[in-house]
Amino acid sequence: MTSNFRRVALIGKYQASSAGALSDSSRHALEDIAHFLEREGCEVMLEAETASNTGITQYPVLNVDEIGRRCDLGLVVGGDGTMLGIGRRLARFGTPLIGINQGRLGFITDIPFDTYQATLPPMLQGEYEEDLRPLMHATVVRDERIVFEALAMNDVVVNRGATSGMVELRVEVDGRFVANQRADGLIIASPTGSTAYSLSAGGPMLHPSIPGWVLVPIAPHTLSNRPIVLSDAAEVAVEVVSGRDVSANFDMQSLASLLHGDRILVKRSEHCVRFLHPQGWNYFATLRKKLRWNEGGS
């Protein structure tokens, strides 16, 4: 059988044990999937950190940039955190990604491990749903200089330190003043991130087809400060007015320590992450399954 995707990069979750290596079960899962892909006519490559953490040596090893330049598909085995990390880095290459879920929730790594052998063959033959997710591009500006920048797929979060009081943040949208907010922090979330931290802070879920963001205050001092949905064509500026130990998080991976007067500017990136889902996939089925909407009370 000939696959539509000739070269497939296999990417596993990182640091699944306290020693920093993948567990035996994760390693065996990756080996099983690699053998399966070979039977489907694919040339298998291994992402460099995955190879280092597993000790799997029988496949060519590529770094992320080499995967973007040389591979037709990235197959991510893990949870949503694994997919977020590799998605940000491969977006500029336009490399499509399929997720096999070995995590707990799996909103974007949506193929259960125990079904991959039935689910993947038609996808490898071109029968899939494509799902484009724009990234957020964020910069931290201090004294009119960019001191930090990062991409995020889920959210940009400005918040207080664990032992400090509220922060005061000045919020602007496209240069127009919105409000000074006193709160524990502020979340700017994409539709992808609307089912993550934003949801736990009381924000709405945004369908992935909506070109928007949601602005969600975290435990605001004034209860009338409510979440608001914005166009993702807008630029959001958040200035630190007061507060101690304030930081900015980008997908909860990278971190910038902030000073009073720092401005965090968030705009839509020119890059999108390309997810491929099984044919017939739909967002509402994912919500029903992951949020257990159809389960009755006891």
Check which CATH number belongs to the domain holding 65 and give it: 3.40.50.10330
Residue 34 C-beta-side C-alpha neighbours within 13 Å: 22
149 and 230 share one domain = yes
122 and 158 share one domain = no
Question: Residue 294 domain-assigned?
Answer: no
189 and 260 share one domain = yes
Q: Can you say whether the dihedral through the CA atoms of 283, 286, 292, 295 is positive or negative?
A: positive
156 and 120 share one domain = no
- Alpha-carbon distance 168 to 108, whole Å? 34
Question: Residue 289 domain-assigned?
Answer: no
Residues with a catalytic annotation lie at 80
222 in helix, strand or coil? coil
176 and 120 share one domain = no
148 and 233 share one domain = yes
- Give 210-269 pLDDT, tens digit per residue: 999 999 999 999 888 999 999 999 999 999 999 989 999 999 877 889 999 999 999 999
- Alpha-carbon distance 194 to 152, whole Å? 13
Domain membership of residue 165 as a residue range: 135-269
pTM to 2 decimal places: 0.90
42 and 60 share one domain = yes
- Give 52-95 pLDDT, tens digit per residue: 988 898 999 999 999 999 999 999 998 888 999 999 999 999 99
168 and 242 share one domain = yes
121 and 18 share one domain = yes
For the chain, how many structural domains are there in total?
2
